[in-house]
Amino acid sequence: MNPTLARAVPAPSPALALFASVRAHSAHLAAPLGDADATVQSMPDASPAKWHLAHTTWFFEAMVLERFAPGYAPYSPSFSYLFNSYYETLGPRQPRPRRGMITRPSLDEIMAYRAHVDAAIERLLAAGASPEAEEMVELGCHHEQQHQELLLTDILHLFAQNPLHPAYREPAPAAVGHEAPEAAWIGFEGGIVEIGHDGAGFGYDCEGPRHRTLIEPFRLSDRLVTNAEWLAFVEAGGYRDPLLWLSEGWAQVNAEGWAHPLYWLERDGLWWSMTLNGLQPLDPAAPVAHVSYFEADAFAAWAGARLPTEAEWEHAATSLGALPPQTPDARLRPKPAEDAPGLKQMFGEVWQWTRSPFTPYPRFAKAEGAVGEYNGKFMCGQFVLRGSSLATPPGHARASYRNFFQPDKRWQFSGLRLAEDA
């Protein structure tokens, strides 16, 4: 070939493989669902699976294609109203509590919408997108991974409202009855430590800037609090003792009639738990899940301990080094800790409440434009959870990750690990 006639071939985009993998995983998660499963909204905090699939697609369309793909025309002009979440700068939207009213478009049309946008993103990346466009695709992929976890937690809440207690996938009873290893305290020295994302790989804006902070000497439990330990709290009257609770938490207990974690059910003197595999016997050795910050704080007070700060948690997690490879858990429910020395269950079972409010780190600055609405606008009235859960997609966890929810929320895979002053 005449070298003067050869055309430069764009280098493969590193974002293309990530995009293809993430989008395929969402389709995999949606595969067991029918149109009715994917349309119903069980409460204002949850969203229909169909909405998650469409919203994440709209994100790529609005944030990437309409900005960086010349001549791109939206799949449907009405979809911006239907599937925008909270981006005020991008226009009005369907009210969040009424997302379940969107019976049409159908699930099939949503999947066609996804295929249309997928093809456009792949063309953009294959042609050699700008670094800014690739960064937005990467952000969109991590955004979709967040919604993959929400899709599972929202489907669990939906199926828990069904008196038949259906399973998301084929029921797979898990063995129960063994005991968790005895909890042990692991000590950490105090001092000035660095926390926050270190700039290697992806991180959300709220994970930085990396900065120094002072921690006092503390001890951290080597494993998560178990169902058996929580049952002891229930039977000891923990939900009836106002001295254990924050004032707002005690008001929530009385207003909602809380007496045990979400999804627990007592039948004929035996405890059961609703899981993604349907109704299962409560596993006493497994980590407790689906408890609010208020409940976690009350349990810690009852146990004579406290919740860790997020700085303590991250400092401890960083001491473990690199995260082990993460693979999807076919159990679809938390599993007991292994009987091994050192910190256990820091990732992959349940998100762990900390006592830290979700506030900006020193020198934090919101990004300009619509992307600036991603995290910064929520830095009020929320508490930080650390780690990851069984529903967190592989590759989405890291020591600096700051999940956050309001203190009364309990439909997520949220649990706790105890801490105490040294």
Question: Do the domain assignments include residue 4?
Answer: no
pLDDT for position 10:
57
Would you tell me the crossing angle of helices 49-60 and 107-126 to the nearest 10 degrees?
30
Judged against a pLDDT cut of 90, whether residue 414 lies above it is answered with yes
pLDDT for position 4:
44
Question: The domain that contains 88 carries what CATH number?
Answer: 1.20.120
DSSP 300-365: HHHTT-BPPPHHHHHHHHHTT-SPPP----TT-S--PPPS-SS---SSSB-EEEEEEE--PPTT--
Q: Is there a single domain that holds both residue 264 and residue 382?
A: yes
Would you tell me the crossing angle of helices 107-126 and 14-30 to the nearest 10 degrees?
170
CB 382 within 8 A of CB 405: yes
Judged against a pLDDT cut of 50, whether residue 5 lies above it is answered with no
pLDDT (average), residues 4-11: 50
Q: Is there a single domain that holds both residue 120 and residue 198?
A: no
Domain of residue 239, residue span: 185-421
Q: What phi and psi, each to the nearest 5 degrees, are found at residue 225?
A: -70, 135
Question: Do the domain assignments include residue 326?
Answer: yes
Q: Which of the two residues, 5 and 199, has the higher pLDDT score?
A: 199
Q: Residue 1: which pLDDT band, with cuts at 50, 70 and 90?
A: very low
Contacts for 188 with CB less than 8 Å, ≥ 6 apart: 215, 217, 218, 219, 220, 312, 315, 316, 319, 422
Q: Is there a single domain that holds both residue 206 and residue 274?
A: yes
Question: Do the domain assignments include residue 2?
Answer: no
pLDDT for position 109:
98
Short-list 275, 301, 305, CA closest to 287:
275
Q: Is there a single domain that holds both residue 199 and residue 290?
A: yes
Which one of 109, 126, 160 terminates a domain?
160
Q: What is the pLDDT of residues 127-148, one digit of tens each?
A: 999 999 999 999 999 999 999 9
Rounded Cα distance between 360 and 70, Å, is 36
Rounded Cα distance between 155 and 50, Å, is 11
Q: What is the pLDDT of residues 295-352, one digit of tens each?
A: 999 999 999 999 999 999 999 999 998 887 777 666 789 999 999 999 999 999 999 9
